A and B are shown apart, each in its own frame.
Chain A
């Protein structure tokens, strides 16, 4: 059974304090790993797709990386507007998309 575990559940940072969110996964035959951002009262917003170990994607202050067992979402010099819940999801061969429970990020000014 495909499993996705995100850590920490919640993270509080000061503005400018860089950190990383973790997404550990156990799947057979990874076809893709996806990061989403979800603001309160809204649906998830797609951020990145990663397909294989060693791949990296960047968007503004966010950078996603992946190994064979986990993915990281690095946040560099975050701003309060980066506060949101970040979701990770994996797609494996012959199965459906599996989402993690998310990491709730709060960035204080």
Chain B
């Protein structure tokens, strides 16, 4: 996926441990998003960022925090992982106005909490 790199691609972690997922973009886009994708649900927005140090909550933000110290990096942290956070996580970027459709998605991080 041109312009976005997510790491790690796969991770297994234990309940109660902190986990940080990283999203790196080379497009210099202002807006960055974290989504989760689960069977039976569409993609759901966790958090988003509209600039360096500017972030806000999405519809499923409980248990997650984010940080954006540089334009190119957007970190998602699970403070204390739970089994309900087992999911595939996607980062996305957009050059448009707030809540315009994400132009480009990363390849995802498959997280398993055991």
- On A, residues with C-beta under 8 Å from B are 4, 32, 34, 41-46, 49, 87, 89, 91, 96-102
B42 touches which one: A32, A46, A99 (CB < 8 A)?
A99
A4 to B40, CA, bound (A): 13
28 A/B residue pairs, CB under 8 Å, sorted by A: A4-B42, A34-B101, A41-B108, A42-B1, A42-B108, A43-B1, A43-B4, A43-B105, A43-B106, A43-B108, A44-B90, A46-B102, A46-B103, A87-B42, A87-B43, A89-B42, A89-B43, A91-B99, A91-B100, A91-B101, A96-B58, A96-B99, A97-B45, A97-B99, A97-B101, A98-B42, A99-B42, A101-B40
Q: Which residue of A lies closest to B90 (CB)?
A: A43
> Do A49 and B101 touch across chains, with their CB atoms under 8 A apart?
yes
Query: How many of chain B's residues have a CB under 8 angstroms from any CB in A?
Result: 22
Interface of B is mostly: loop
Which parts of B59-114 form the interface with A (CB within 8 Å)? 59, 90, 92, 99-108
Q: Which residue of A lies closest to B9 (CB)?
A: A41
